[in-house]
Amino acid sequence: MRGSSQQRLALFEPERTTEADAPASTPLPKRAALPAIARPENDPWPAPPAGAAFAGLVGEIVGVLAPATEADPIAILVQLLVGLGSVLGRHPHYRVGAARHGTNEFVILVGPSGSGRKGSSWDAVEAVVTEVDAAFVTERIVAGLSSGEGLIWHVRDQAHGPAQDPRLLVLEPELASVLKASSREANTLSPVLRNAWDGRVLQVITKHDPARASGAHVSIIGHITQAELVRHVSGLEMANGFINRFLIIAVRRVRLLPEGGEPDRGALDPLLARLRDAVHHARLPRALGLDDQARTLWWDTYGPLSTGRPGLLGAVTGRPEAHVVRLALIYALLDHADAIGVTHLQAALALWDYATRSAAFVFGDSLGDRVADEIWRAICEHEGPITRSEIRDLFERNKTKTEIDAALHTLVAAGRIERGVLTGRGRPTEVWSPRRYSG
């Protein structure tokens, strides 16, 4: 996926020809624009993020890049934020009490294989990052995660302190292999990645060649299909908080460009100059806070944002406050701001809203409990209330009363079902049905 410098620059620079190379034929006539990609009437794909997500300088850059590629603008936006957040390094941060949030972020782009244009969206981002910090692209972007020890080695401390350059952007075009590796018994990748996102010291106690990274600044961009993500994310990764350290972003091709495209260099160059200046300024050691307007908005949104969701979706989207402040921090720094403004916070909230809806699209209405999910499907398909005896029969009476009780409790807590009692001849019968909502 990562090409040479010549290949990256080709995105911005049209091919040059000499008079001798020029064809003798007349120029090709200008083609009419292709029709938009047809979508089903009841398209289940999440609606695009609110326009607020494309605020500031980074939004302007996406506005120039997007028309020249088939990639989803949101794929360009979120990878640009994560990539540049990695470039910024560990110094700029936001504090919440004793907790420190840096500009490192993890994101998973979820889309169809090939036609999702996940790779081409990164090509556009890599070209921008190269213009800002070419050495970072050639030296600090890696792929092929397989163990925690391997990750630590790339950002390990030197003899007299932290690594000279502790920044690392992990680009995984086949994230499924990483998820499989992290699920293997005794593999250290998951706990090390969780600590990396948290900004903690990275260390694995081993008998031979133990390594330690005390100042690592690790970001991750992963690409995967929906089926692969659902298949390879285990219940343990849900429970231990591994997966909710990632933003999950649904992406797909948005236009047809048979001959590709080139961004308007005249519009892009001034934006890149501003971006280079902003990145240079942002690397200074400092803590950014919220300005007065942003603080008011944060107080208004913090409660609803912090309300947990039940089941699998709640496990996947379990760190909303942390993701929002990190994104807002990156937006502000790339805007050359000295505080997080209301526009930056609104942009982060809009992006988080899309991430939440993407996660709901990817994982559906699963509760992350196979017994509860099976009971829920049966209740929805059953004509009338379902009895406990019928529930036991779903599993050929191979589930214990404790397991079934726990699953029913999960469904009740999620607001899915309600208990009833049928009376008549004989003993009252406990039944379960979808919850009815009044009003």
Matching residue, tokens 């998820």: 179
Please report whether residue 30 resides in a domain: no
pTM of the model: 0.81
336 and 408 in a single domain? The answer is: no
Phi-psi category of residue 217: left, alpha or beta, with phi > 0 → left and psi -120 to 50 → alpha: beta
274 and 379 in a single domain? The answer is: no
pLDDT at residue 260 in the model? 87
Among residues 305, 329, 363, the one where a domain terminates is: 363
CA distance 21 to 1: 30
Matching residue, tokens 């908005």: 297
Beta carbons within 10 angstroms of residue 303's beta carbon: 8
Please report whether residue 277 resides in a domain: yes
pLDDT at residue 371 in the model? 87
pLDDT at residue 106 in the model? 98
- For residues 363-389, average pLDDT: 84
Nearest to 287 by CA among 335, 326, 325, 339: 339
* % of the chain residues with pLDDT over 70: 88
DSSP 408-430: HHHHHHTTSEEEEEE-SSSS-EE
Q: Do residues 288 and 334 touch, judged by C-beta distance below 8 A?
A: no
Nearest to 74 by CA among 243, 270, 217, 247: 247
Number of independent structural domains in the chain: 2
- 384-401 tens-digit pLDDT: 899 999 999 999 888 899
pLDDT at residue 20 in the model? 46
pLDDT at residue 374 in the model? 87
Higher pLDDT, 155 or 23: 155
Ranking 152-156, 157-161, 315-319 by mean pLDDT, the lowest is 157-161
Residue 416's domain is classified under what CATH number? 1.10.10.10
pLDDT of 171 over the 60 cut: yes
Among residues 363, 387, 418, the one where a domain terminates is: 363
Please report whether residue 17 resides in a domain: no
319 and 404 in a single domain? The answer is: no
pLDDT at residue 234 in the model? 62
CA distance 124 to 143: 18
Q: Do residues 64 and 267 touch, judged by C-beta distance below 8 A?
A: yes
pLDDT at residue 232 in the model? 81
- For residues 325-343, average pLDDT: 98
pLDDT of 206 over the 80 cut: no
Q: Which domain holds residue 122?
A: 46-363
pLDDT of 370 over the 80 cut: no
The tokens describing 315, both together, are 């496990």
Which residues sit opposite 167 in a β-bridge?
217
Please report whether residue 273 resides in a domain: yes
- For residues 304-308, average pLDDT: 87
Q: Are strands 429-434 and 386-387 parallel, antiparallel or unpaired?
A: antiparallel
pLDDT at residue 9 in the model? 42
- For residues 163-176, average pLDDT: 94
Q: What is the mean pLDDT of the chain?
A: 87
Q: What is the dihedral of CA 333, 337, 339, 345, to 10 degrees?
A: -70
- Reported as a pLDDT band with limits 50, 70 and 90, residue 235 is low
CA distance 252 to 133: 28
Please report whether residue 95 resides in a domain: yes
pLDDT of 51 over the 60 cut: yes
254 and 284 in a single domain? The answer is: yes
Q: Are strands 92-96 and 99-101 parallel, antiparallel or unpaired?
A: antiparallel
284 and 423 in a single domain? The answer is: no
137 and 94 in a single domain? The answer is: yes
Please report whether residue 38 resides in a domain: no
- Please compute Rg for the chain using Cα positions: 25
127 and 152 in a single domain? The answer is: yes
DSSP 359-392: HHHHHTT--S-HHHHHHHHHHHHSSS-EEHHHHH
155 and 291 in a single domain? The answer is: yes
Query: Among the ranges 39-48, 234-243, 277-286, 427-436, which has the highest mean pLDDT value?
Result: 277-286
Helices (H), 183-319: 189-198, 226-232, 235-239, 265-282, 292-306, 311-316
pLDDT at residue 364 in the model? 79
CA distance 211 to 204: 7
